[in-house]
Amino acid sequence: MASTLTTKNAAYSLRALSMGASDYIPKPSSTSELHSGVAFRHELVGKVKTLGTAFRKGQGQPLPGEANDKSENDGQEERAASPAPPKVVRKSIAFAKPATQPAKIIAIGSSTGGPQALFKVLAGLKSKLSVPVVITQHMPAKFTAILAEHIESNCGVPCKEGVDGEPIEAGRVYIAPGDFHMRLTGDRSAPQIKLSQDEPVNFCRPAVDPMFESVASIYGACTLGVVLTGMGHDGEAGGRQITEAGGSMIAQDEATSVVWGMPGAVANAGICSAVLPITEIAGRIAKLVGRGG
């Protein structure tokens, strides 16, 4: 989906995502910007290539450049044969120990494919949500407010964009507004949201790492970080701080991720206590909130 940054078009884009679209991209606001928009072309081509690679892997198809050269004499047999799955050498994942204390906050990071994943996780928590949830989803302004509305209506949990200086409350979900980093300040007895337009982190604003780092500094071993589907590696550095503080990290598995970039980065860093399909993440969160372990 390519959409201009208006509330109306953000709503259309979120609806398209809920119906199966993989991602969206802000559309240039003028024809001249479209023709001269190097950033737009770069982002669009990058997303198409990444999504195409993920699709090929999921179908067991060779990636560009991996197919074996065949003799033209074998043309008919070549076309009739199914492509052989690519040979992929995977590094075995080392798991970190889960926290021994119950989680007092859930911090979630997501990007490409994130809205659908968030709907599934939060819908599974609606009757068990006894702690605050803070979310950074890579999205532009306008989109995050609509996403919050969709989460509240579809998942049955109170959800809104974070507001600078706002205290966070148990049982509520707060989403970083588009174009703002969202951190927490204060202490565990009175945490507050702090928004900023500091420089992008990992080419993103909002970014997951600043949120994870701030949550870990306040909640320490009572932090539960979750990284869902998305491109890049945002969340890895902040997730490491959560683990080093004694908290737990969960990553979505590759099979159920639209793109296994962000969750793959934290999984391969050895900082997760679990790598799970999207359908099992809510249950594991409830367990960690309920009693730790």
Is 253 one of the annotated active-site residues of the chain? Answer: no
Residue 246 near residue 216 (C-beta atoms within 8 A): no
Q: Which residue has the tokens 């606001």?
A: 29
Task: For residue 194, give Cα distances in angstroms to 28, 198, 235.
Answer: 30, 11, 18
Q: In 3D, which of 196, 168, 178, 184 has the Cα closest to residue 136?
A: 178
Q: Which residue has the tokens 């609509």?
A: 146
Residue 16 near residue 1 (C-beta atoms within 8 A): yes
Rounded Cα gap, residues 54 and 255, in angstroms: 10
Rounded Cα gap, residues 60 and 89, in angstroms: 14
Helix axes 114-123, 143-155, angle to 10 degrees: 30
Is 35 one of the annotated active-site residues of the chain? Answer: no
Rounded Cα gap, residues 284 and 88, in angstroms: 29
Cis ω before 206 (30° cut-off from 0):
yes
Q: Which of 110, 150, 233, 234 is catalytic?
A: 234
Is 179 one of the annotated active-site residues of the chain? Answer: no
Residue 232 near residue 203 (C-beta atoms within 8 A): yes
Q: Which of 22, 111, 248, 273 is catalytic?
A: 111
Q: Which of 22, 138, 248, 257 is catalytic?
A: 138
Which residues are known to be catalytic? 111, 138, 234
